[in-house]
Amino acid sequence: MTPLDPVLSAEAMRAADQATIETWGVPGRVLMESAGRAAAREIVARFEVAGRDVTVLVGTGNNGGDGLVVVRVLAAHGARVRALVLPGEGTPDRTANLHILSRMAEHDTGVEVVPFEDVRQVANAPADLVVDALLGIGVTGELREPARALCAWLNRAGAPVVALDVPSGLDATTGRAAEDSVRADLTVAFGGIKTGLLLGDGPTLAGEVVTVEIGIPDAELRAHATAWQAPRAWAGAHLPERAADAHKYSAGRVFAVVGSRTFTGAAVLSTAAAYRSGAGAVVAAVPEPAAPIVDARNAEVMVDAQPATGAGTLARIAREAVLDRAEAADAVLVGCGLGRDDDTLALVRDLVEAVEAPLVLDADGLAAYADDADVLRQRSGPLVLTPHLGELRRLLNDDSFDPIDRIEAVRGLAQRWHATLVFKGVPTVVGTPDGRVLIGPPGEPALATAGTGDTLAGTLVGLLAQGLDPDVAALCALWLGAEAARLWTADHGATGLVASDLIDRLPAAAHALRS
């Protein structure tokens, strides 16, 4: 079965690199040669280089050494390559490669080595392609001269840009970008993908990302992984399949405590998504004023009308009836469209405490634990929390919460609350109670519309009801939503999708992921 892919912070990547050199006996020069050659192969596969002018911006570190190898290989493919070399004492391996390249330049091999003096050197010598080998993974904070001026020029130059490992100026761990960070068309990641390419500004700046093998053993990458990413094939392999003798109750029973007089749509969307993700039976407890609307808009859902508060939300006196329903369920969803009446939030807390089945707490359900989320760790059954940033701030009672390192923040909170924490964003990051962090699929712009959070919650609870573990269900739900959005976008473009469009395409998305 397809494994999860390791994702590494800058520190973790350096540790894996060092272990490869010290434990496995692979010289640093060999890793550099492999990295440069692999990057050059990716460049040649995507760009016409023969007879073209290529500029490689070479820093003083090992990233610059990788770039010097690229110069050699592209010249061998017929390119006219100009290496613009920043001043300063380079690393030993970079210095050795610069010596080789300087000897080549003496023999008119299509290579020119130019010491950097002023940014006008590149401005006055336009190129058909530029390779960013300035900084690599070791730089954080604001860019310093002359790198800043070169990066700013590069972003104005108009030529395609290939970044080696990470675009210069992008924090390889957090995805935070300095002013004038390089905006690449292609980023060739060496060994393993860096967390910063997936988070924050990374997806915007990195362009297409391809990971190449350079000689670091897979065992080292996995041993030093900061987080894990699910490839498309992994999601397809983990989606549940129905048994030939399945019936509606064996296929997964969902109980949803959702909706209010004001927010019937959230109840409709979440329960419909539970069905479309493969659950066999869905029961929804909704307040009496909402029941006729939910019933009319979603005929397949078994609607259980319960007493309402004056605000039209579920009343706490429904507790025993709701708990009885929950006992028969394989998974429970609490929150979508419930509203925030105090009586309703008290009911939410009762349910989270008493229900033993896997439980997804979403949207208004999370409001029941504003400034009191630590009590969630007392729950005995599996718990999945699905907050966006605003909801997470309310759970923490911290309106300024905006973690620089989302991976470590999610890791800590999931362990603290003994829950699977699905921190929604681009991309969504999933933390588990045992300290693992999983990164969801790349963002789909079409998903930026109301109701897709309700759809995700319904998809997730539907997969839980079919027996998936919470972390697996979360990743599969994210992949189903992304694939459904991709299918819709292929027909209609990236704008105009509504949540019900997404739900209609969930079965096709599952089929596509399995294919």
Indicate the annotated binding residues: 62-66, 132, 136-142, 165, 168, 266, 337, 388, 424-428, 453-454
Which residue's entry shows tokens 């007392």? Answer: 378
Angle between helices 506-514 and 470-492 (to 10 degrees): 110
Q: Whole-angstrom Cα distance, residue 266 to residue 268?
A: 5
Hey, what are 12's tokens? 């973790």
Please give the structure tokens belonging to residue 315. Answer: 């009343």
Whole-angstrom distance, CA of residue 117 vs CA of residue 124: 13
Q: Which amino acid is at 227?
A: A
In contact, 281 and 302? CB cutoff 8 Å: yes
Burial of 243 (0-12, 13-18, 19+ CB in 10 A): exposed
* Pure H helices in 304-368: 319-327, 342-354
Burial of 248 from C-beta contacts in 10 A (0-12 / 13-18 / 19+): exposed
Q: How far is CA 255 from the centre of its chain?
A: 29
Binding site for AMP: what residues are annotated? 424-428, 453
Structure tokens at 130: 């530029």
CA atoms within 13 A on the CB side of 452: 24
Sheet holding 437-439, edge to edge: 193-194, 5-8, 227-229, 437-439, 429-431, 420-423, 383-385, 359-361, 331-334, 253-257, 281-287, 302-306
Q: From the annotation, which residues make up the binding site for (6S)-NADPHX?
A: 62-66, 136-142, 165, 266, 337, 388, 454
Hunting for tokens 């009191």 — which residue is that?
372
CB 192 within 8 A of CB 35: no
Where b means 16+ CB within 10 Å and e means fewer, 289-324 reads bbbebbbebbeebebbbbebbebbbbbbebbeebee
Helix (H, G, I), strand (E, B) or coil at 209: strand
ω into 146 cis (within 30 of 0):
yes
For 380, other C-beta atoms within 10 Å of its C-beta total 10
Binding site residue list for K(+): 63, 132, 168
